[in-house]
Amino acid sequence: MKFIKYIMIASNFHPYKRKRPSNMRMLLGATTAMALLITSAASANETNLQIKNASKQLAVSIRAFATGTSAASECLVKSGQLSKRIAKEILPLSLLEVGISPEVLDNPQVIKATSILSPTLNSDCTSTKMSIEAINRLIKDEL
From first to last of its 143 residues, what are the pLDDT tens digits of the chain?
444 444 444 444 545 555 555 555 555 555 666 666 666 666 767 777 888 888 888 899 999 999 999 999 999 999 999 999 999 999 999 999 999 999 999 999 999 999 999 999 999 998 889 888 998 899 889 88
**Under 8 Å CB-to-CB from 121, ≥6 apart: which residues?**
71, 72, 75, 127, 128, 129
Alpha-carbon span 141 to 143, nearest angstrom: 6
pLDDT the model gives residue 37:
64
Domain ranges within the chain, ordered by starting residue? 58-142
The reported pTM is: 0.67
List the one residue out of 76, 74, 87 whose CA is nearest residue 116.
74
Report, in this order, helix, strand and coil percent for the chain, each rounded to 5: 75, 0, 25
Alpha-carbon span 45 to 23, nearest angstrom: 32
Task: State the DSSP code for 103.
Answer: G
